[in-house]
Amino acid sequence: MIGTGAARMAGEVTDVAPVIQPLAEATGVFSFLWVLIALPLAGAAILLLGGRRTNRWGPYLGVFTVTAAAVYAVVLLIGLMGRSPDDRSVGQTLFEWVFVGGFTAPVAFQLDQLSMVFVLLITIVGALIHIYSLGYMEHDPDRRKFFGFLNLFIASMLLLVLADNYLLLYVGWEGVGLASYLLIGFWQWKPSAAAAAKKAFVMNRIGDVGLSLAIMLIFVTFGTVVFDEVFAVAGEASESTLTWIGLLLLLAAAGKSAQFPLQAWLLDAMEGPTPVSALIHAATMVTAGVYLIVRSNAIYDATVFALTVVLVIGVITMFLGAIIASAKDDIKKSLAGSTMSQIGYMVLAAGLGPVGYVFAIFHLLTHGVFKANLFLGAGSVIHAMNNQQDMRRYGALRAAMMITFLSFAAATLAIMGIPPFSGFWSKDDIIHAAFEVSIVAGIAGMLAAGITGFYMTRMFTMTFLGKARWEDDQHPHESKPVMTIPLIILGIGSVFTGMALLFWGDIVGWLVPVTGLKQTPLPLPTIVYEVITLVLVLAGAAIAYVKYRKDVAVEAPQDVNFLTRAARNSMYDDAINNVLVVQPTYSVTRALVGVDNRGIDGIVNGIAAFVAGSGNRLRRWQTGFARSYALAMVGGAVLVLVVLAVVRLP
């Protein structure tokens, strides 16, 4: 087994380059690859177009399509495992989509090791979230639509990870944007929800521009946008071109994955129903950026600069998110901060190049499970607390909600990276890999892990432990089985996913043909790094526990330090965007509207007024006196004479 801690400890040097696997024709179990996407898409179509007729059974159909997709995904996995490790790329071309001149982009899918794990994550976690939503959205009058949107989300995400070319990926990419827009703004009668949805879409669009430009640059450079064809010749392009492509792809990833500086939408996105947050943060949307970077590894491998930028962005976001998570009192916003931070880890890992790609994906998978767990748990709490999201109003919920408490605890330990919970395996691998490349990155990873310990313990303590700080009329109770069963499953997942993937699933070996892997021995035994990390995490946890165990003010204290205040304001991201982008745009718009109305249209109307005015002035010459007419004629005669004479003179 390559790439594991054991191998690293043994001081082995690993250097496996990614291979372009031959694209096998989709036959046998793979022949219905397209069904994977078609299932949730059909579900979405039926639910959204069917109207009220489907109200009664619609949600169940929504659950069914995704569950069926999950089952098929498992079948596919089995099928894929049956192939040799270097021949696990299966392609299916449906039809030519865009073909002009030398440009072609088919509607074609590619299932390989990387997309397979994403498909599994998306469909399985997605299915759990769907099931959970049956309970969570039980009383919402529009829940049919909700399931329609969820299905659309899943379909788009599957398209994103299964596309075999960048342009088709782009369709899924924006489809995810659309679905998230719909879901974040699901309660759109709330102006804040509608605004948050718009914000998410627009910030995503900024990233999309990056993707769109990247696709163009890829085509202009390589003459194709099909993954395998591009990657086959990626190394031949000039480094500057590759750097540009890499940076543009990073911009795209930053938009989708809420990385600095496009992170501002993520916290607002908490306006959506909680299952949506779970879906966005765990299984879909935000993972897309990481997918894009890892998928494009052939490009990044050839450009150190772009990789470094990826790394830096990951580190910045990792801290930003962690700090924000530490200060937010809203449970969902705090979780959102944690997502930012965890995705920061993955981007950091991806920024390490071949050293880290695998671990980025590994962490993505474990995170997918425990973050879904956390969000669904939070949703369960919120549900129980009559939509109260302020953790200062929680406390002592353990007794009331045992299942939620336990599963949340499992997920909390997982995200903190406590062994042997799943997060430990993936996060430690990232930290190790980071130290291989740069001590700074490694230390950053450790520190962020410490902060993770702090904010997760803070959240956990404020919610489940300590004293009850509930508002009146609160009678928290455990949620219904339809919600708790997914929690239980995810809770178990939070414990075991890491180990299962690493030891039983050989996630590293599985992914290496796609991503490649480089490993060099670290100067110190890996256990040293692990211990240091663990100490930091526990220290953070201890501080939080001590601080929040007992006296938590119901009103957030105002006499806090600058960092806390900044973190409460999400590091002033809105204010900064406002000053740098929004306000200038408004000003320019106002100016341009003025230019248009008074300037351009003013000129047009001015010409018209001038013409009319000239007419009126000339009209005055027509005095009505015959003698003045005669005078004009004499003047005319003179004019004629002069013109004739002038012409004749030379």
Partner 1 sequence: MNPENYVILAAVLFTIGTVGVLVRRNAIVVFMSIELMLNAANLAFVAFARMQGNLDGQVIAFFVMVVAAAEVVVGLAIIVAIYRSRRSASIDEPNLLKY
Partner 2 sequence: MTAPSIDFLTILPFIIVGGAAVLGVLVETFLGRRARRPVQLVLVFGSLVAAFSALIWQSGTRSLEVEGALALDGPGVLLMGLIIIVAFVSAMLLAERQLDPAGDAFAPRASALPGSVEERELTARGYLQTEVWPLFLFAVLGMLLFVTSTNLLIMFVALEVMSLPLYLLAGMARRRRLLSQEAALKYFILGAFSSAFFLFGSALMYGFAGSVDFAVISDALAAKPGETTLVVGGVAMISVGLLFKVGAVPFHQWVPDVYQGSPAPVTAFMAAAVKIAAVGALLRVYYVAFGGLRWDWEPLLWVIAGLTMIVGSLVAIAQTDIKRMIAYSSIAQVGFILMGVSSASPQGLQAVIFYLIAYSFTTLGIFAVISMVRDASGEVTRLDQWAGLGRTSPVVATTFAIFMLALAGIPLTSGFIAKFLVFEAALSAGAVALVIVGVVASVIAAVFYVRVIVIMFFRDPVEGGPRVAVPSAFTTLALSISAAVTVILGILPQPVLDLIEQAGVFLR
Partner 3 sequence: MTLPLLTILGVIPLVGALVLLALPKGNARLIKQVALAFSIAALVFTVFMGLQFDADSTAAFQFVESYPWIPAFGISYSLGVDGIGLVLVALATTLVPVTILAGWNDVEDGRSVKGYFALILVLETLMIGVFSATDVFLFYVLFEVMLIPIYFLIGRYGGPNRAYAAVKFLIYSLVGGLIMLAALIGLYIVSVDQLGQGTFDFASLVGLDIDPTTQKILFLGFFIAFAIKAPLWPFHTWLPDAAKEATPATSVLLIGVLDKVGTFGMIRYLLPIFPTASEFYAPVIIAMAVIGIIYGALVAFGQTDMKRLFAYSSMSHFGFIALGIFVFTSWGATGSVVYMLAHGLSTAAIFLTAGFLMQRAGGLGAIAAYGGVNKVAPVLAGFLLFATMSSLALPGLASFVGEFLVLLGTFSRYVVVGVIASIGIVLTAVYALRYYQKVATGPPSPHVEGIPDLRGREITALVPIVLLTIVLGVYPAPVFDVVNPAVERTLEVVGVTDPVPTIGVLGGEQ
13 is a contact residue toward partner 1 (CB under 8 A): no
627 is a contact residue toward partner 1 (CB under 8 A): yes
* Closest CA relative to residue 378, chosen from 285, 249, 301, 281: 281
Residue 92 region by backbone torsions, left for phi larger than 0, else alpha for psi between -120 and 50, else beta: beta
Question: Residue 409 pairs with which residues in a beta bridge?
Answer: none
What's the min distance (Å) between Cβ of 639 and partner 1?
15
Q: Say how many residues touch partner 2, by CB under 8 A.
A: 28
Instruction: Classify 480 as helix, strand or coil.
Output: coil
642 is a contact residue toward partner 1 (CB under 8 A): no
Our CB check for partner 1 shows the closer of 98 and 640 to be: 640
Cα four-point dihedral sign 430, 431, 434, 436: negative
**Which amino acid, 475?**
H
Strand 14-16 versus strand 517-519 pairing type: antiparallel
3-state DSSP of 249-283: HHHHHHHHCCCCCCCHHHHHHHHCCHHHHHHHHHH
Our CB check for partner 2 shows the closer of 558 and 616 to be: 616
Our CB check for partner 1 shows the closer of 553 and 618 to be: 618
What's the min distance (Å) between Cβ of 199 and partner 2?
44
Our CB check for partner 3 shows the closer of 82 and 606 to be: 606
Our CB check for partner 2 shows the closer of 6 and 644 to be: 644
What's the min distance (Å) between Cβ of 592 and partner 3?
5
Residue pair 487/373 in contact by the 8 Å Cβ criterion: yes
Q: How far apart are CA 73 and CA 278, in angstroms?
A: 20
Structure tokens, 98:
């865009």
What's the min distance (Å) between Cβ of 236 and partner 3?
5
Question: Residue 518 pairs with which residues in a beta bridge?
Answer: 15
What's the min distance (Å) between Cβ of 388 and partner 3?
22
643 is a contact residue toward partner 2 (CB under 8 A): yes
191 is a contact residue toward partner 2 (CB under 8 A): no
Which part of the chain contacts partner 2 (CB under 8 A), choosing from 117-125, 201-209, 554-562, 619-627? 619-627
Instruction: Classify 621 as helix, strand or coil.
Output: coil
Q: How far apart are CA 356 and CA 436, in angstroms?
A: 10
Q: Which of 630, 639, 640, 641 binds partner 1 (CB under 8 A)?
A: 630
Q: Which of 626, 645, 646, 647 binds partner 1 (CB under 8 A)?
A: 626
Q: Which of 475, 624, 645, 646 binds partner 1 (CB under 8 A)?
A: 624
What's the min distance (Å) between Cβ of 622 and partner 1?
5
Residue pair 161/110 in contact by the 8 Å Cβ criterion: no
Our CB check for partner 3 shows the closer of 159 and 282 to be: 159
Q: How many CB atoms lie within 10 A of CB 520?
A: 14
**Helix segments in 51-186, DSSP class H:** 58-81, 113-120, 126-136, 143-162, 166-184
Which part of the chain contacts partner 2 (CB under 8 A), choosing from 298-306, 399-407, 559-567, 642-650? 642-650
Our CB check for partner 3 shows the closer of 583 and 589 to be: 589
Our CB check for partner 1 shows the closer of 630 and 642 to be: 630
585 is a contact residue toward partner 1 (CB under 8 A): no
Which part of the chain contacts partner 1 (CB under 8 A), choosing from 10-18, 83-91, 151-159, 617-625? 617-625
What residues line the site for partner 3 (CB under 8 A)? Answer: 48, 51, 95-103, 107, 167, 170-171, 173-175, 178, 181, 185, 188-191, 193-195, 197-198, 201-202, 205-206, 208-209, 212-213, 215-217, 219-224, 229, 232-233, 236-238, 241, 585, 588-590, 592-593, 596, 600-601, 604, 608
Structure tokens, 550:
């007992």
CA 120 centroid distance within chain: 18
Q: How far apart are CA 161 and CA 163, in angstroms?
A: 6
* Closest CA relative to residue 336, chosen from 401, 274, 393, 383: 274
Residue 477 region by backbone torsions, left for phi larger than 0, else alpha for psi between -120 and 50, else beta: beta
CA 474 centroid distance within chain: 35
What's the min distance (Å) between Cβ of 620 and partner 1?
7
Q: How far apart are CA 496 and CA 363, in angstroms?
A: 13
**Helix segments in 257-356, DSSP class H:** 264-268, 274-278, 286-295, 297-300, 304-327, 331-351
Q: Which of 240, 587, 605, 622 binds partner 1 (CB under 8 A)?
A: 622
Q: Tell me which residue has tokens 């990247």.
A: 214
Our CB check for partner 2 shows the closer of 475 and 627 to be: 627
Structure tokens, 559:
């006499």
Which part of the chain contacts partner 2 (CB under 8 A), choosing from 226-234, 488-496, 497-505, 627-635? 627-635
Q: Which of 542, 585, 623, 638 binds partner 1 (CB under 8 A)?
A: 623
| 8-state DSSP, 30 | G
- Residue 504: name its binding partner from partner 2, partner 1, partner 3, none (Cβ under 5 to 8 Å by kind): none
Q: How far apart are CA 284 and CA 277, in angstroms?
A: 10
Contact string 584-613 vs partner 2 (x = CB under 8 A) = ------------------------x--xx-
What's the min distance (Å) between Cβ of 45 and partner 3?
10
Our CB check for partner 2 shows the closer of 553 and 626 to be: 626
617 is a contact residue toward partner 1 (CB under 8 A): no
Q: Which of 141, 220, 625, 645 binds partner 1 (CB under 8 A)?
A: 625
Element (H, E) at 482: helix 481-499
Which part of the chain contacts partner 1 (CB under 8 A), choosing from 13-21, 99-107, 413-421, 616-624? 616-624
| 8-state DSSP, 597 | I
* Closest CA relative to residue 570, chosen from 186, 269, 272, 202: 269
Q: Which residues bind partner 2 (CB under 8 A)?
A: 608, 611-612, 614-616, 618-619, 621-622, 624, 626, 628-630, 632-633, 635-637, 639-641, 643-645, 647-648
Q: Which residues bind partner 1 (CB under 8 A)?
A: 619-620, 622-627, 630-631, 634
